[in-house]
Structure 1
Amino acid sequence: MSVIDPILADVQKPTAQARGLPNAHYTDPAVFAEERDALFGVGWAGLAVASDVPEIGDAVPITFLDIPLLLIRGRDGVVRVFQNICRHRGMILVEEPRKIEGAIRCPYHSWCYSTKGELVATPHVGGPGFNAHKDIDRATLGLIEVRSHIWRDVVWINLSGTAPDFEDAMADVIARWAEFDQPQFHGGADSRFTLTVNGNWKLAIENYCESYHLPWVHPGLNSYSRLEDHYNIEHEDLASGQGTLVYRQLKDDSGQSFADFANLTPQWDAGAEYLSVYPNVMLGVHRDHSFAIILHPDGPGRTNEQVHLYYATADSDDNLRLKNAEQWKVVFEEDIFVVEGMQRGRRAPGFDGGRFSPAMDGPTHCFHRWAANRIATQRAAG
């Protein structure tokens, strides 16, 4: 692939010679809009978790990259994603999370849709008292569905509708964590929280990719899972991150810990892995719990991080679960100041994107290469 932009060409060089994405990719609204299509629209991005709609009829409106979407669990139990607009005049259908007891009714002219997105009622569309018209074909006017797939409870969406099947696109990561392809249970209200960060979403991904910062940013974590206990993970054009050879299970006062996931190989006895799956999902797996963090960009300089914790059984101990959530919240909050500090640093006109440590920053550079490739491909296509 030829890259016209010499700056993007520098990003794509080997790690020892490369520089990072330039400032505009963190601060410029026009570049943010370009990245919406290049980095989020073409492939699979994380939207929410299926546990957000646990029961039939549950519906949650989500504005994602300024696009109004609706996450809903249909009467058939299937979780779907639709554009949250009526096909009549584009009115927003659902304003707040709620349970759909009957149909999804547009508050403007009362057009109604089933939880599978079918248009089922068009009152007075043919004039007063006439609820049908020969030129209004209900079969072609259902809600616009957004292609979606659920993996590790994350609801992944493909906005363009043109990406390879999820199982093909994510094959390497799915295979890497095949042992964890088993039931996991969301910890409930005390196992979800949202962090708001005044920084570009890419900086959160970049920081999560590497363990280089542990001794200085996470001294508590580094006291037992040291920098030298970590290794880099790179899946080109897909995901990158880190693993640790030392994972310490959380225990309560009586020495009890969470139940383990079933039939794991010995590598997970004291190991754990953390992956940034491009563009916006950060995942972690351990022998006894896992987590998913979904990033929702709010313009170029603000990001909402939605954190969800999962366990191997549905009856995990309440107090231990709360302690685990508090522990992870401390770790994730420790990262906020560096993400926000790097964001402020992107206002320095002389900064050229920075350099990468050839030994420590391979996973972060892997993410930059992916982003540069996607952006260059879109620009080449015109």
Structure 2
Amino acid sequence: MDITHKSPDLGNVRSPIDMANGLPNSHYINADVFEEERQAVLFDNWAGLGVGADVPDIGDAKPVTFLGMPLLLVRDRIGAVRVFQNICRHRGMILVAEPRKIEGAIRCPYHSWCYSTEGKLISTPHVGGPGQNTHEGIDKNLLGLIEVRSHVWMDVVWINISGTALPFEEANADLLARWTEFDKPLYHGGFDSRFELEVNCNWKLAVENYCESYHLPWVHPGLNSYSRLEDHYHIELADKYSGQGTLVYRQLKGEDGKTFPDFEGLSDKWNTAAEYITAYPNVLLGVHRDHAFAIILTPQGPEKTIESIHLYYAEQGTDAELRARNTTQWKEVFEEDIFVVEGMQRGRHAVGFDGGRFSPAMDGPTHMFHSWVAGQMERHRAPLAAE
């Protein structure tokens, strides 16, 4: 198979920013390249799947389809969040079709094989014939649910499907150290603090737009009126993460002057600062003195993405009216970006577009993401090219 013709000039993407081009069109519109990225970028790294708040109580289970793969989020009997392939080990039947509470066991609706919330196969009715629930050829210890490597941080459930990535704490050590002050309980705001946006663009364009503040004066004039372009700074760590920060975060206040409670133990920096970082590949995170958010980008194909947004607070039971206003405010900001990312997606169908150029002064975080994706693709293709 020719692995080079689909996506030329990736070496140039890795060039210094003043000489680099962006990723070529094929990385946004080509189904074959999308499949390559599925493995090299999303399956081989720690990708975001959902959040712990999706399964808040013991026994809660939620089916999730991730890049065509049926998965199951479960909170087990000791309260740990686990991820399994959502299939029975007998005939591959989907086990859980809708979010629900597991009462007793996860039962396959086809032949009634049953599994614990820890994934152990516990019952195989009639497997040895009518009335015979065991068979010497069926070793239950070898037929538990297939567990996907997972980790929870900032309430995001991260998965490494290939199993080849470094341990999460090692792969993301720099980001964990940067935000160690936020390594504390985060309380999901509840039903009024989550929403989804369906966007007609490749998932990477959502990352690229989130990384930079360059577009603020024109796309977010309301936000830019108090958190101006010149109040922002770049956040860059090559091959790890990138994003932006602001020095003038302004707390939301109710009519009575009430604000959300602050996270405890924050340094003075956070009195006025906030940071917005993409944890490669597909999780957009924001932290402030009084709330945080996580956005999980779930690709639906080369040209469609679901953005799942979740808002978190320092305490449970924060003011409901203020929470609703905060959700509305953030939804308006994120919706303002839709025409931009969808416009860039349409632009990727322009024959001859070379991936574009970067402003050396303003596009560092976005170039860093392009370079990381190109590096992941080169790593993946190297053994194929040698065959």
SS in 2 for 1:273: strand
Contact 2:8 2:24 in 1 (8 A): no
User: Aligned-pair distance for 1:75?
Assistant: 1.3
User: Aligned-pair distance for 1:6?
Assistant: 5.3
Distance 2:285 2:135 in 1: 50
2:292 to 282, 285, 290: 290
User: Aligned-pair distance for 1:120?
Assistant: 0.4
Partner of 2:241: 239
1:207 to 206, 209, 222: 209
Q: After the TM superposition, list the runs of 4 or more consecutive aligned residues in structure 1 that deviate by more than 6 angstroms.
A: none
Contact 2:63 2:97 in 1 (8 A): yes
For 2:361, give the aligned amino acid: A
| Cα deviations by residue, 1:285-329 (Å, 9 ceiling, x for unpaired) | 000000000000000000000000000111210000000000000
Contact 2:188 2:310 in 1 (8 A): yes
- Over the aligned positions, Cα root-mean-square deviation in angstroms equals 1.0
Partner of 1:165: 167
| Cα deviations by residue, 1:166-217 (Å, 9 ceiling, x for unpaired) | 1000000000001111111000000000000000000000000000000000
Distance 2:79 2:352 in 1: 54
For 2:229, give the aligned amino acid: L
| Cα deviations by residue, 1:344-372 (Å, 9 ceiling, x for unpaired) | 00000110100000000000000001000
For 2:138, give the aligned amino acid: I
For residues 64-213 of structure 1, what are the structure 2 equivalents within 5 Å? Answer: 64-213=66-215
1:252 to 227, 251, 254: 254
SS in 2 for 1:298: strand
Partner of 1:39: 41
SS in 1 for 2:298: strand
Partner of 1:376: 378
1:7 to 6, 9, 14: 9
Partner of 2:20: 18
For residues 299-310 of structure 1, what are the structure 2 equivalents within 5 Å? Answer: 299-310=301-312
Distance 1:342 1:6 in 2: 20
Question: Taking structure 1 as the reference length, what is the TM-score of the superposition?
Answer: 0.98
For 1:135, give the aligned amino acid: G
For 2:333, give the aligned amino acid: V
Distance 1:75 1:372 in 2: 41
For 2:295, give the aligned amino acid: I
For 1:192, give the aligned amino acid: R
SS in 2 for 1:145: coil
Distance 2:42 2:369 in 1: 14
Structure 1, gaps ≥5 residues long: none
For 1:242, give the aligned amino acid: Q
SS in 2 for 1:313: coil
Contact 2:241 2:277 in 1 (8 A): yes
SS in 1 for 2:301: coil
Question: In the alignment, is residue 322 of structure 1 matched against residue 303 of structure 2?
Answer: no
Question: Taking structure 2 as the reference length, what is the TM-score of the superposition?
Answer: 0.97
Distance 1:139 1:117 in 2: 10
Distance 1:303 1:82 in 2: 23
Distance 1:259 1:16 in 2: 43
Contact 2:59 2:101 in 1 (8 A): yes
Distance 2:383 2:43 in 1: 15
User: Aligned-pair distance for 1:77?
Assistant: 1.0
Distance 2:67 2:8 in 1: 28
Structure 2, gaps ≥5 residues long: none
| Cα deviations by residue, 1:103-162 (Å, 9 ceiling, x for unpaired) | 111111111000100000001111111110001000000000000000000000000112
User: Aligned-pair distance for 1:263?
Assistant: 1.3
Distance 1:103 1:183 in 2: 29
Distance 1:51 1:235 in 2: 29
Partner of 2:367: 365
Partner of 1:61: 63
Distance 2:35 2:150 in 1: 22
Distance 1:256 1:130 in 2: 65
User: Aligned-pair distance for 1:235?
Assistant: 1.4
What is the percent sequence identity of the aligned residues?
A: 68
SS in 2 for 1:304: strand
For 2:236, give the aligned amino acid: E
Distance 2:247 2:145 in 1: 48
For 1:65, give the aligned amino acid: L
